[in-house]
Amino acid sequence: MPTYQAPTGDVLFLLNDVFHWERYANLPGFADASPDVVEAILVEGAKLADEILQPVNQSGDREGCTRHEDGSVTTPKGFKEAYKAYVEGGWIGISADPEYGGQGLPYTLAAILNEFHAGANMAFTMYPGLTQTAIAAINTHASAELKRLYLPKMIEGAWSGTMNLTEPHCGTDLGLLKTKAAPNGDGSYAITGQKIFISAGEQDLTENIVHLVLARIEGAPAGTRGISLFIVPKFIPDSNGKPGKRNAVSCGALEHKMGIHGNSTCVMNHDGAQGWLVGEANRGLNAMFVMMNEARLGVANQGLSQSEASYQNAVVYARERLQGRSLSGAKQPDKPADSLMVHPDIRRMLLEIRSFNEAARALMIYSTLKADVAHRAADEKERKEADEALSLLTPVMKGVFTDRGFDNAVKAQQVFGGHGYIGEWGMEQFVRDARIAMIYEGANGIQALDLVGRKLPKDAGKAVMNFFNEVGGYIKENEADEAMKPYLGSLKTGLGHLQQGTMWFMQNAMAKPDNAGAGSYDYMHMFGLVALGYMWAKIAKAALAKKAADASQAAAMDAKLIAGKFFMERVMPETAAHLVRISTGADTMMSMPADAF
């Protein structure tokens, strides 16, 4: 049976020692979240993860969801009880607007808890996770009336939320969507069309399901400029929020997927379902992007979470499994063999995973703190800059965390040898579950294009220049410190490569946009490496300080310093290959005729 323990200790170190949580106390919601309150919340959230959600992860994968003839869907055994515990803990509304019953705590905390919960049970955590992102979209764009009607129920977890975007012929290219919205004359619309791949589209956990649906109002322009966003509830609430008439939206089938079997992935049929416009007509993509951006951070977190969960299990196995002898002579001569831990190649795999996990967790906190600043700071300029920094990093984290998260789950599985391929050990589930994160909420190739085509050139590259200046400044500020040298050298080289890659695009992709497309994936990963390396530099600095201040922390801090050094020596240097690839441009790949592939 696989195991999981939410990484509370690492998070507390990051919040307090690396990011100086107390400095944010002036932001609304942070005052209520003093370090001891934060610790108490994280400990409770970890308990839910370890004791309630994780125990139904493997069984949920095996059982999966079941659709019945009437279109209803049963989630795996134990999910109802887990959901009840989740709701009772108030976890859904932890950072939601207090006006509608939310706790108004920092979004950073909600994101951290999402890592914990997804690490314990990714398929389950998608149910409340999608509700959280739907809450964000409604809160930002819907009318006061819709907010009043829907948000309290969603925040308390009585109703859930979903995103209905994809159709059989369009996923990435939403401009092609065909679902129609016809005005009913009473301010509502009749929505007709088929949506596919709808996560949590139908389930037995909540008394109502609030679908956020993209559709085209009759007569609206073709393409993305004619798309509107609608609320389509499963049961239509009366004005007091009591679910009434069953709406004409239903689950036509469940998809048979590679993983996340515990989450119901539905074909949703809208047969003239009654819907209400969210935000302005024809500006639906704009409204949906609020949801998507938050969902992208959630998916990045999923990548990290599966990397962390699979790492923890691989460590247990590597410690316990006796196989072979150390290359430098037996280390456990009284045992029939040494533990796997003596083998450098096992350590290589474990440290590749570990050195990602801690830096990725830091980057998630670094970025979600920007989200909190963007939403809560008093100063508009500060808000805007934080929002732009977050926008820049969102595609990087979504693409890099999910690619590396999946690779890491595969590596952790490899540590188990043959046992890794067998269901009962749970490692192959991590791999299957992690795989979807590279695909949904915008396939990773789309994240790369978003980064290079949209985020990079925005405001003449202001956000990216700010980021380069911040990292460059940090290096300069610390490079005189001898103890920091191992953490700055290859970061500096990596930053240089990233800047060269950026320059190459400026010089070569304006006239020939295929050059941007051809290098976008490498650029995204190069960006990720520099951002993760920057986090390692910050972690190392904090670890050195903590170690100096408190000898009892020396062993824990040394482990971080070793993992960081490993990252700098062995992972960071990959930026060179990315730069080489970017600089080759698109000519070779575009010269192949389509029918010659």
Q: Pull the structure tokens for residue 518.
A: 């051809």
Among 106, 161, 517, 528, binds a second copy (CB under 8 A): 517
518 contributes a contact to a second copy by CB under 8 A = yes
The string of DSSP letters for 98-146 reads GGGT-----HHHHHHHHHHHHHH-HHHHHHHHHHHHHHHHHHHHS-HHH
Query: In whole angstroms, what is the distance from residue 127 CA to residue 465 CA?
Result: 38
Residue 185 or 336: the one with the smaller Cβ distance to a second copy is 336
Residue 110 or 353: the one with the smaller Cβ distance to a second copy is 353
Q: Are 76 and 63 in contact (CB under 8 A)?
A: yes
Residue 135 or 349: the one with the smaller Cβ distance to a second copy is 349
Residue 208 CB, nearest approach to a second copy (Å): 26
Contacts to a second copy from residues 170-199, by CB under 8 A: 170-173, 175-176, 196-197
Query: In whole angstroms, what is the distance from residue 173 CA to residue 192 CA?
Result: 19
List, in order, residues 6 or more apart from 71 with CB less than 8 Å away.
202, 250, 251, 252
CB 163: neighbour CB atoms within 10 A? 26
Residue 12 CB, nearest approach to a second copy (Å): 18
Distances (CA, A) of 52 to 48, 120, 127, 311, 510: 5, 9, 15, 20, 52
Tell me if residue 44 is catalytic: no
Query: In whole angstroms, what is the distance from residue 246 CA to residue 342 CA?
Result: 61
List, in order, residues 6 or more apart from 79 with CB less than 8 Å away.
56, 60, 124, 127, 205, 262
Residue 566 CB, nearest approach to a second copy (Å): 5
Residue 439 CB, nearest approach to a second copy (Å): 6
Query: In whole angstroms, what is the distance from residue 280 CA to residue 258 CA?
Result: 38
Residue 244 or 417: the one with the smaller Cβ distance to a second copy is 417
Contacts to a second copy from residues 412-431, by CB under 8 A: 413-414, 417-418, 420-424, 428, 431
Residue 245 or 331: the one with the smaller Cβ distance to a second copy is 331
Contacts to a second copy from residues 446-465, by CB under 8 A: 448-449, 453
569 contributes a contact to a second copy by CB under 8 A = yes
Q: State whether residue 209 is helix, strand or coil.
A: strand
Contacts to a second copy from residues 7-46, by CB under 8 A: none
Q: Are 310 and 356 in contact (CB under 8 A)?
A: no
Residue 190 CB, nearest approach to a second copy (Å): 24
488 contributes a contact to a second copy by CB under 8 A = no
Among 144, 219, 256, 482, binds a second copy (CB under 8 A): 256
Nearest to 532 by CA among 481, 572, 476: 572
Q: How many residues bind a second copy (CB under 8 A)?
A: 99
Q: Pull the structure tokens for residue 533.
A: 């390396």
220 contributes a contact to a second copy by CB under 8 A = no
Spot the catalytic one: 441, 479, 569, 574. Answer: 441
300 contributes a contact to a second copy by CB under 8 A = no
Among 27, 87, 220, 439, binds a second copy (CB under 8 A): 439
Among 32, 39, 204, 574, binds a second copy (CB under 8 A): 574
Residue 379 or 424: the one with the smaller Cβ distance to a second copy is 424
Residue 507 or 584: the one with the smaller Cβ distance to a second copy is 584
Query: In whole angstroms, what is the distance from residue 304 CA to residue 207 CA?
Result: 31
Q: Considering only 29-37, 296-304, 408-416, 475-483, which stretch makes contact with a second copy by CB under 8 A?
A: 408-416
489 contributes a contact to a second copy by CB under 8 A = no
Rg (CA), the chain: 24
Q: Pull the structure tokens for residue 297.
A: 């951070």
Q: Pull the structure tokens for residue 387.
A: 């929002």
Contacts to a second copy from residues 115-174, by CB under 8 A: 166, 169-173
Among 116, 317, 440, 487, binds a second copy (CB under 8 A): 440
Residue 320 or 459: the one with the smaller Cβ distance to a second copy is 320
510 contributes a contact to a second copy by CB under 8 A = no
Nearest to 463 by CA among 536, 388, 565: 388
Burial 443-482 (b: 16+ CB within 10 A, else e): bbbbbbbbbbbebbbeeebebbeebbeebbebbeebbeee
Q: Considering only 84-92, 228-236, 371-379, 510-518, which stretch makes contact with a second copy by CB under 8 A?
A: 510-518
Instruction: Decide: residue 489, CB within 10 A, 0-12 exposed, 13-18 middle, 19+ buried.
Output: middle
570 contributes a contact to a second copy by CB under 8 A = yes
Nearest to 226 by CA among 217, 235, 237, 239: 217
Contacts to a second copy from residues 55-84, by CB under 8 A: none
251 contributes a contact to a second copy by CB under 8 A = no
204 contributes a contact to a second copy by CB under 8 A = no
Residue 148 or 257: the one with the smaller Cβ distance to a second copy is 257
Residue 147 CB, nearest approach to a second copy (Å): 31
Contacts to a second copy from residues 259-288, by CB under 8 A: 259
CB 363: neighbour CB atoms within 10 A? 25
Query: In whole angstroms, what is the distance from residue 13 CA to residue 545 CA?
Result: 12
Contacts to a second copy from residues 320-379, by CB under 8 A: 322-324, 326-328, 336-337, 339, 341, 343-351, 354
Residue 256 CB, nearest approach to a second copy (Å): 4
Among 75, 305, 444, 502, binds a second copy (CB under 8 A): 444
Residue 117 or 435: the one with the smaller Cβ distance to a second copy is 435
- Dihedral sign computed on CA atoms, order 32, 35, 39, 45: positive
Beta bridge partners, 167, equal 170
Contacts to a second copy from residues 520-539, by CB under 8 A: 520-521
Q: What are phi and psi of 275, to 5 degrees?
A: -135, 160
319 contributes a contact to a second copy by CB under 8 A = yes
580 contributes a contact to a second copy by CB under 8 A = yes
Nearest to 35 by CA among 106, 98, 92: 106
Q: Report, as residue numbers or ranges, the catalytic residues.
A: 441
